[in-house]
Chain A
């Protein structure tokens, strides 16, 4: 199985200047009773996005009309902490986000994002501050996140390099998924299993 190859996104930015945005905020747990991935874009940041009566909260950034169609989210440190729910990257992507820029990401969120082709782009706190100042001066400034060259291009000549897991990068650029890669290793996995008998069996006690 594969998905469309992905190498870069150019877009204006959705800024959420908070640290430690947890996955319970990205997609509250009450929406995890779904058995598919439908409708998650409408529930993204639900409790910040809607008021108690269900109407859009005008002070939340996603409800500003100019945000529609933006594909890059810029957020504070330690984005995606908390629950392992993959519904978080699914919800971000369903809304239209393709890259999140922060100064760090929680480990499970980063893994989940990369496996879906959503780019977690970690930059230094200083560079995040630089992007923040740029957006303050021009909220509609467009950035380019380029996975191929591993850099963010700012308006004008600005460039910020970023690191990304080399294997995940290859997979995303090619549009290959990791399960296909694991399946290609079947002979080695079978050899490992032959020399590592199961520690327990859930099929019988003892």
Chain B
């Protein structure tokens, strides 16, 4: 296995290099390439119909050892010693248990010390590694791209394809370079970088492309910040987004349970991955991290965001009629008016969690700002760690008591109010500041209204009970 291609002198991007080493069968006569998959992550929501398909065809799972399942979407984040109260969710979870048992797939279910949001546990266990192809029936699979892996979300039919063949039919994607240089100011985070990118390109701006994030501001981020950015690639329409691996990446993987036993050989391979000098991208965009402020969304898709001190745009000033109608509909749903400032607006709920911002570094930053302060009266604050391991670590470090003593709820791990399938949801009309990834209508509960922001902005808002600029609390 060789990550360099001696036949080709043409400079290649990291995506091309990963692609070239994973083509199991080159596409011929108009067919797509057949791409080998190194790791397939499975959860309870998008898999049951795929396992049914295998049974109907009498097929086995081809590579159980390249497959890992967990439960995250529909499970409660309350006391796990109790049975799941929602009968439909309970049935879905037990169906995954049955399927994993029947097909020999390892499962980190409820009660496992490794249970967690699928995009948190892959990196945590060291299963996510540079140069791999990683898929999951979940659009936030791009998270794993932070390690220089080609990772993307798939539908249930494709889940069945991977279970049966450990391959997928895929067309080579286009490449979109996103370069962020300069240094972030205090109080401005990885979340603000990605929300700023989305506000520049819009929610469909990366359709058909893979983002390659680079530049000194990306290099300066830790792995968890890089995961936050790659996670929301899909919010810009890109199925995948990645960061070329470097020493920060290697340090993070080293020593984890599934880190390669032949470490030096792995490093040699991984060091060949970054895009070659002169490799070309189909599109490029760059901006300076030093120009960024804390970002917040005001509308009903993640591209409708702006610096927290800005005012709501006026749909009547827009020339494109469909865009104008979309903004009108968004503002009507959010009950916001053109020209209004969001800063200072009362909020009902703060959600700190999700595969975007629920890792230990997110919780450390949040706790650091919350320490010695208290949640405002009447505001519900939920802190939902991304995995059972993150929860354990946060408790060991004393972060959990900071949250509890400040008046926040400290819960069990899962997707929780990011997707609101498990009973953790907003009531109609409520406003939430959320560290999650989607502010679509009803995403966090029917009629609920979401302001997406960083963990720091979430904490500052929790303390004041109003949408607040975290820089005031530094």
- Chain A to chain B: the 9 pairs with minimum beta-carbon distance, closest first: A78-B204, A192-B24, A112-B155, A86-B155, A35-B48, A205-B257, A84-B153, A84-B139, A115-B157
* B64: chain A residues within 8 A (beta carbon): 202-203
Q: How far is the CB of A126 from chain B (nearest CB, A)?
A: 13
Whether B219 is near chain A, meaning CB under 8 Å from some CB there, is: no
Pair B442/A189 contact, Cβ less than 8 Å: no
Cα(A170)–Cα(B157), bound, Å: 18
The minimal Cβ–Cβ distance linking B444 to chain A, given in whole angstroms, is 10
Nearest-CB residue, chain A, relative to B56: A1
Contacts of A30 in B (CB 8 A): 420-421
Asked whether B226 is an interface residue with its Cβ less than 8 Å from the other chain, the reply is: no
Other-chain residue from A81, A106, A115, A188 in contact with B24 (beta carbon distance below 8 A): A188
CB distance from A203 to the nearest CB of B (A): 4
Kindly list chain A residues whose C-beta atoms are within 8 Å of the C-beta of B105.
202
Q: Which of B92, B161, B329 has the most CB of A within 10 A?
A: B161
Q: Are B421 and A29 in contact (CB under 8 A)?
A: yes
Question: Is A52 part of the binding interface, using a Cβ–Cβ cutoff of 8 Å?
Answer: yes
* CB–CB B237/A86 < 8 A: no
Cβ proximity bits A108-121 to B, threshold 8 Å, 1 near / 0 not: 10011001100000
Contact of B164 among A104, A167, A182 (CB under 8 A): A182
- CA A76 to CA B442, docked complex, whole Å: 20
For the complex, what is the distance from the CA of A124 to the CA of B45, rounded to whole Å?
A: 35
Q: Which of A28, A37, A185, A206 contacts B257 (CB 8 A)?
A: A206
B23 to chain A, nearest CB (A): 8
Which of A12-20, A61-69, A133-141, A153-161 binds B? A12-20
- Tell me the bound Cα distance from A201 to B165 in angstroms: 16
B338 at the interface (CB under 8 A from A): no
Instruction: Report yes or no: B443 in contact with A29, Cβ–Cβ below 8 A.
Output: yes
With A77-B204, A78-B204 as known contacts, state yes or no: A189 contacts B258, CB within 8 Å. Answer: no
B259 beta carbon closer than 8 Å to chain A:
yes
Kindly state the separation between the CA atoms of A89 and B261 in the bound complex, as whole angstroms.
43
Contact of B169 among A17, A20, A182 (CB under 8 A): A182
- Pick from A167, A182, A189 the residue with the most CB of B within 10 Å: A182
In angstroms, Cα B369 to Cα A197, docked, is 46
Q: How large is the interface on B (under 10, 10 to 19, 20 to 34, 35 or more residues)?
A: 35 or more
Report whether A107 and B48 are in contact in the complex, using a CB–CB cutoff of 8 Å.
Answer: no
Residues of A contacting B132 with CB < 8 Å?
199-200
In terms of DSSP, what is the predominant structure of the interface of chain B?
loop
Which residue of B has the minimal Cβ distance to A88?
A: B155
Decide: A182 and B237 in contact? CB cutoff 8 A: no
In the complex, what's the smallest C-beta–C-beta distance from B197 to chain A, in angstroms?
16
Q: Which residue of A lies closest to B258 (CB)?
A: A200
Asked if residues A178 and B154 are in contact (CB atoms below 8 Å), the reply is: no
Complex: chain B residue closest to A89, CB-CB: B155
How long is the Cα–Cα vector from A1 to B54 in the complex, in angstroms? 11
User: A167-B32, A182-B169, A185-B34 are contacts. A202–B65 as well, Cβ < 8 Å?
Assistant: yes
Using Cβ atoms and an 8 Å threshold, which residues of chain B touch A106? Answer: 204, 207, 237
B453 to A: closest C-beta gap in Å = 19
Is the beta-carbon distance between A107 and B208 smaller than 8 angstroms?
yes
Kindly list chain B residues whose C-beta atoms are within 8 Å of the C-beta of A179.
53, 57, 157, 160-161, 164-165
Decide yes or no whether B13 CB sits under 8 A from chain A: no
Residues 156-178 of A contacting B (Cβ, < 8 Å): 165-167, 170, 178
Return the contact of B440 from the options A25, A85, A185, A205 (Cβ within 8 A).
Answer: A25
Q: How far is the CB of B26 from chain A (nearest CB, A)?
A: 9
CA distance A104 to B34 in the complex (A): 25
Given the complex, which residues of A lie within 8 Å of B428, measured CB to CB? 52
**Is A28's CB under 8 angstroms from B442's CB?**
yes
Closest Cβ–Cβ distance, residue B452 to chain A (whole Å)? 13
A111 touches B155 (CB 8 A): yes
* From B22, B39, B65, B139, residue with most partner A Cβ within 10 Å: B139
Q: Does B89 contact A (CB under 8 A)?
A: yes
Stretch at the interface among B318-326, B393-401, B457-465: B318-326
State how many residues of chain A have any CB contact under 8 Å with chain B: 63
Question: Who on chain B is nearest to A195 by CB?
Answer: B1
A interface, CB within 8 angstroms of B: 1, 17-20, 22, 24-25, 28-30, 32-37, 47, 52, 76-78, 81-86, 89, 104-108, 111-112, 115-116, 165-167, 170, 178-179, 181-183, 185, 188-189, 192-193, 195-203, 205-206
Q: Is the CB of B153 within 8 A of A32?
A: no
Q: How far is the CA of A36 from the CA of B91 in the complex (A)?
A: 11
Residues of B within 8 A of A78 (CB): 203-204, 207, 237
Q: Contacts A33-B89, A47-B442, A81-B204; is A198 near B66 (CB within 8 Å)? A: yes
Chain B residues with CB under 8 Å of A86's CB are 46, 49, 137, 155-157
Residues of A within 8 A of B52 (CB): 36
- Given contacts A36-B49, A166-B30, A189-B167, whether A22 and B440 have CB atoms under 8 Å apart is yes
Q: A20-B204, A167-B30 are in contact. Are A182 and B161 (CB under 8 A)?
A: yes
Beta-carbon nearest neighbor of B303 in chain A: A20
User: Which among B24, B46, B446 has the greatest number of chain A C-beta atoms within 10 A?
Assistant: B24
Given the interface contacts A179-B165, A182-B164, A182-B167, does A115 sit within 8 Å of B158 by beta carbon? yes
Whole-angstrom distance between the alpha carbons of A205 and B56 in the complex? 32
Contacts of B208 in A (CB 8 A): 107
**Closest residue to B154 on the A side, CB-wise?**
A84
Q: Flag if B301 contacts A22 (CB, 8 Å).
A: yes
**In the complex, per-residue mask of B72-113: 1 if CB is within 8 Å of any chain A CB, else 0:** 011000000000001011011001000000000110000000
A140 to B92, CA, bound (A): 42
28 contacting pairs across A/B (C-beta < 8 A): A20-B203, A22-B440, A24-B438, A25-B442, A33-B74, A33-B92, A35-B48, A36-B52, A47-B442, A52-B447, A76-B322, A78-B204, A82-B234, A83-B438, A84-B46, A86-B49, A104-B207, A108-B154, A116-B157, A179-B57, A179-B161, A179-B164, A181-B31, A182-B34, A189-B166, A192-B167, A199-B39, A202-B39
Please, how many angstroms separate the alpha-carbon atoms of A170 and B29 in the complex?
A: 11
Q: Using CB atoms, name the residue of chain B closest to A203.
A: B65
* Complex Cα gap A111–B135 (Å): 14
CB neighbours (8 Å) of A199 from chain B are 38-39, 129, 131-132, 260
Known A18-B325, A200-B66; further 17 A-B contacts with Cβ < 8 A: A17-B322, A18-B322, A22-B301, A32-B46, A76-B326, A82-B438, A89-B155, A108-B153, A165-B32, A182-B169, A185-B24, A192-B167, A193-B166, A200-B260, A202-B39, A202-B65, A206-B258
